[in-house]
C-alpha cells in the first residue's frame, strides 16, 4: 500500500504578517491593561525577525560556499554573543570580566566538545562540518547551555552576596572555602539544570520539542523525527550539565583570594 508523504507548505510573506498580527494584538491588549509590556513585545518581535533573516542569509551563503574557516568564525561569534548574554542577565556579577570569561569558556568547552562528538561520532556526515548539521546543532546546544549557565551563575552570585556574613562566619570557624560554599554551589548547579530536566520530563507527553515539530512539519517521518529529537535532547542535557558545572566551578574560585578569604568587593550589583 502506497504511503502518502505530506509535502512542505511554503509560507508567504502574507502568512508571516498574519502571524505577526497576533503579537500586535497582544501588545494592544497589554497597552489597554496598562501592563507596560507592549514596547518590549514589539521590540523583541522586530529584533527576532531581523536576527532570523540575517542568519538565514548567512546560512544560505555558507550552504552555497562550504568552508571550514567561515563556519568556525560563525561558531566563535555565536559563543561570544552567548557569553555576553550570560553576563548581561546577572543581577550580581563578578568584577574584572570573570563573569563573562566563566560563562563563555564554559559554553565553549561544553558546547563545542558535545557538538564535535555528535558530528564526528554519531552523525558522521561528509564533510563533518557541513553547516546543515554543524550550525543548527551548535545553536541548539548554545541556546540551552546559555540558559542553564545564566540561571546557575545568577543563583550562585546572588546567594553568595546575600549569605556573605554566614560564609565569613564559617570561614572564621576553620572551614575551607570549598566547604563553606558547597551548599550554594550545589543549589546553583541544580537551578541551572532545571530547564533541561523539565524539558526532558515533558517531551512527548506534555509538549512536542521544537526540532521534532519542525521535522514533522517539513515531511520527515515521525519516528525519524523522534530519533533526531532524542539525540538532540541527550546532547543538550550533557552539554548543559558540563557547562553549568564548569561555570560554577570557575566562578566559585573567584569569590575567595589565595588565603581563602571571602572577597565581596569582587561582586557588583547591576540592578540595585
pLDDT tens figures, 157-212: 888 888 888 888 888 888 888 888 889 999 999 999 998 888 888 887 777 777 77
The radius of gyration computed from the CA coordinates of the chain, to the nearest angstrom, equals 22
| pLDDT, greater one: 78 or 218 | 78
Evaluate whether 16 touches 34 at the Cβ level (below 8 Å): no
Which residues are within 8 A (CB) of 115 and not within 5 positions of it... i.e. 6 or more apart?
134, 137, 138, 141, 235, 239
In this predicted structure, what is the pLDDT of residue 2?
A: 46
Residues 54 and 72 in one domain: no
In this predicted structure, what is the pLDDT of residue 200?
A: 85
Residues 48 and 166 in one domain: no
Answer yes or no: is 199 within a domain: yes
pLDDT of residue 226 exceeding 70, the answer is yes
In this predicted structure, what is the pLDDT of residue 38?
A: 87
Residues 57 and 134 in one domain: no
Tell me how far apart the alpha carbons of residues 182 and 135 are, in angstroms, rounded to a whole number. Answer: 36
Count of domains for the chain: 2
Residues 132 and 219 in one domain: yes
Residues 231 and 245 in one domain: yes
CB count within 10 Å of CB 185 equals 20
Answer yes or no: is 2 within a domain: no
| pLDDT, greater one: 180 or 95 | 180
In this predicted structure, what is the pLDDT of residue 272?
A: 47
- Nearest in space to 148 (alpha carbons), one of 254, 247, 269: 247
Pairing of strands 92-94, 267-269: antiparallel
In this predicted structure, what is the pLDDT of residue 26?
A: 92
Range of 48's domain? 11-65
Answer yes or no: is 135 within a domain: yes
Residues 138 and 229 in one domain: yes
Amino acid at each position: 500500500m502506497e504511503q502518502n508523504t505530506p509535502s512542505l507548505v511554503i509560507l508567504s510573506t502574507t502568512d508571516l504578517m498574519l502571524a505577526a498580527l497576533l503579537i500586535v494584538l497582544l501588545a494592544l491588549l497589554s497597552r489597554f491593561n496598562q501592563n507596560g509590556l507592549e514596547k518590549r513585545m514589539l521590540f523583541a518581535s522586530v529584533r527576532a525577525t531581523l536576527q532570523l533573516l540575517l542568519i538565514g542569509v548567512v546560512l544560505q551563503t555558507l550552504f552555497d560556499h562550504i568552508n571550514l574557516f567561515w563556519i568556525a568564525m560563525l561558531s566563535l561569534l555565536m559563543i561570544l554573543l552567548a557569553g555576553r548574554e550570560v553576563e548581561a542577565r546577572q543581577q550580581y556579577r563578578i568584577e574584572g570580566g570573570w563573569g563573562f570569561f566563566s560563562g563563555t569558556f564554559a559554553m565553549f568547552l561544553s558546547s563545542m566538545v558535545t557538538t564535535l562528538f555528535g558530528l564526528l561520532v554519531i552523525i558522521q556526515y561528509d564533510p563533518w562540518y557541513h553547516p546543515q548539521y554543524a550550525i543548527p546543532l551548535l545553536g541548539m546546544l548554545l541556546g540551552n547551555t546559555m540558559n542553564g549557565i545564566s540561571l546557575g551563575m545568577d543563583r550562585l552570585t546572588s546567594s553568595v552576596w546575600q549569605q556573605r556574613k554566614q560564609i565569613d562566619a564559617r570561614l572564621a570557624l576553620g572551614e575551607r572555602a570549598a566547604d563553606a560554599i558547597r551548599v550554594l554551589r550545589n543549589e546553583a548547579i541544580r537551578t541551572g539544570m532545571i530547564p533541561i530536566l523539565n524539558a526532558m520530563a515533558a517531551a512527548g507527553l506534555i509538549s512536542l520539542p521544537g526540532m521534532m515539530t519542525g521535522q514533522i512539519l517539513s515531511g520527515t517521518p515521525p519516528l525519524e523525527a523522534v530519533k533526531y529529537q532524542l539525540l538532540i535532547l541527550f546532547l543538550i542535557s550533557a552539554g548543559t550539565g558540563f557547562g553549568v558545572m564548569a561555570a560554577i566551578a570557575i566562578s566559585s574560585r573567584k569569590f575567595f583570594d589565595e588565603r581563602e578569604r571571602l572577597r565581596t568587593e569582587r561582586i557588583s550589583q547591576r540592578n540595585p
